[in-house]
Chain A
């Protein structure tokens, strides 16, 4: 009897123990699930605010960059596309208005561009660096010089078919003097089309050549007194260098002949935008 009682008791206790353990395990699993759900809900509730900050920062950057592009186009370099050719129109002399307006635009954007914090690097913007994508060609405009450099010797320079330098100056022109010329036939694989034309107050001088893109060629524009006014070089590999007297008035158009479509970008270090962590309430519109 006693043994039988003990057997029954032992069986009941095992079952009870098993069920209790199962209940505890289920409770622990439930608590773990609740904790995970809580963490996930918190991260989801913050997503809207994070997306909003991204949107505001993006809009601030877009406003500042478009303003910079307008200043650049109106007062310094105006790009234009004709087929695959990229034409860059530069007003001479390299105007002081550009630098002045960049500084004012920076001050205005920083003062009124909230809630995004926008800053413009005026030293970078004063000497605009443009990038031709995807050919990876750099175009630098500095006082007295224009530098066009394909960055990748094996790819970028192969995308350049030729250059046209068209200049109009407000003084008499003399003649073109080739100090170094590396001619090749037009059918040569390394041939680079090169055309230069300068219109002065007394007429126009021009020349067209097919140059070796892997060798140095240089032509100088001389005035009536045989003084050098402008120097144009074709450097390896298919890089163009234009050096001009900064006192010259007029304009310079450089046409970059490419064999595929391209886009022009302003230098990457000019504009920075960030979102200031501050409370932004509803804006009261005066009306």
Chain B
């Protein structure tokens, strides 16, 4: 009878061990399947910072695509691909588009991309003022 009790107890402990092994395998596989949220967040911050630099440095207000292109090439590391579009509006009873340009390369096929946009105000003189929208997309090469 004692031996039978010992066997039952051993059976229970083995069951617990099997359950622990199963749970460990489950969590390990779940962790591997989860997407990495750190890299896209870093790229989002990079995109926001790049647009802020272009706005506060006056490059976007200058409406010169080559200057914006050169600035982006200096700011972005080689391992990051980027694509940008900038649109300018003026106000004539409503916001009317006056200029737009696109820079960088296409990002089709990239697994993880980060996108940021920024509105900005460009003051030329007391009669010429523009309202702009810049969109930037980043991806890891």
A67 contacts the other chain (CB 8 A): yes
- Name A's interface SS: helix
B115 x A108 contact (CB < 8 A)? no
Give the residues in chain B near A24, CB-CB below 8 Å: 12
> If A26-B16, A59-B48, A66-B55 touch, does A13 touch B5 (CB 8 Å cutoff)?
yes
A16 x B119 contact (CB < 8 A)? no
A23 x B102 contact (CB < 8 A)? no
Which single residue of chain B is at the shortest CB-CB distance from A91? Answer: B126
Contact pattern, B 1-36, Cβ under 8 Å of A = 1, otherwise 0: 111011011001101100110010001001000100
Return the contact of A19 from the options B9, B56, B91, B131 (Cβ within 8 A): B9
B117 x A283 contact (CB < 8 A)? yes
B6 x A287 contact (CB < 8 A)? no
B59 contacts the other chain (CB 8 A): no
Stretch at the interface among A43-51, A167-175, A224-232: A43-51
Return the contact of A287 from the options B20, B37, B106 (Cβ within 8 A): B106
A45 x B34 contact (CB < 8 A)? yes
Give the residues in chain A near B52, CB-CB below 8 Å: 59, 62-63, 66
A74 x B123 contact (CB < 8 A)? yes
CB distance from B67 to the nearest CB of A (A): 18
Give the residues in chain A near B84, CB-CB below 8 Å: 285
A11 contacts the other chain (CB 8 A): yes
Stretch at the interface among A97-105, A123-131, A137-145, A196-204: A97-105
B119 x A23 contact (CB < 8 A)? no
A109 x B119 contact (CB < 8 A)? yes
CB distance from A77 to the nearest CB of B (A): 14
Give the residues in chain B near A75, CB-CB below 8 Å: 123, 126
Count of chain B residues with Cβ under 8 Å from any Cβ of A?
53
When A and B form their complex, what is the total count of cross-chain residue pairs whose Cβ atoms lie within 8 Å? 139
> If A16-B6, A63-B119 touch, does A104 touch B131 (CB 8 Å cutoff)?
yes
> If A16-B9, A27-B19 touch, does A55 touch B45 (CB 8 Å cutoff)?
yes
Task: Kindly state the separation between the CA atoms of A107 and B94 in the bound complex, as whole angstroms.
Answer: 10
B48 x A55 contact (CB < 8 A)? yes
Give the residues in chain A near B16, CB-CB below 8 Å: 23, 26-27, 30
A108 x B89 contact (CB < 8 A)? yes
Task: Kindly state the separation between the CA atoms of A45 and B31 in the bound complex, as whole angstroms.
Answer: 10
B76 contacts the other chain (CB 8 A): no
A79 contacts the other chain (CB 8 A): no
Return the contact of A63 from the options B30, B41, B83, B120 (Cβ within 8 A): B120
CB distance from B41 to the nearest CB of A (A): 6
Give the residues in chain B near A15, CB-CB below 8 Å: 2, 5-6, 9
17 pairs of residues in contact across A and B, judged by CB atoms under 8 Å:
A9-B2, A12-B6, A15-B9, A16-B2, A26-B16, A41-B27, A48-B37, A52-B40, A52-B44, A55-B44, A59-B52, A66-B120, A71-B121, A112-B117, A285-B83, A285-B85, A287-B106
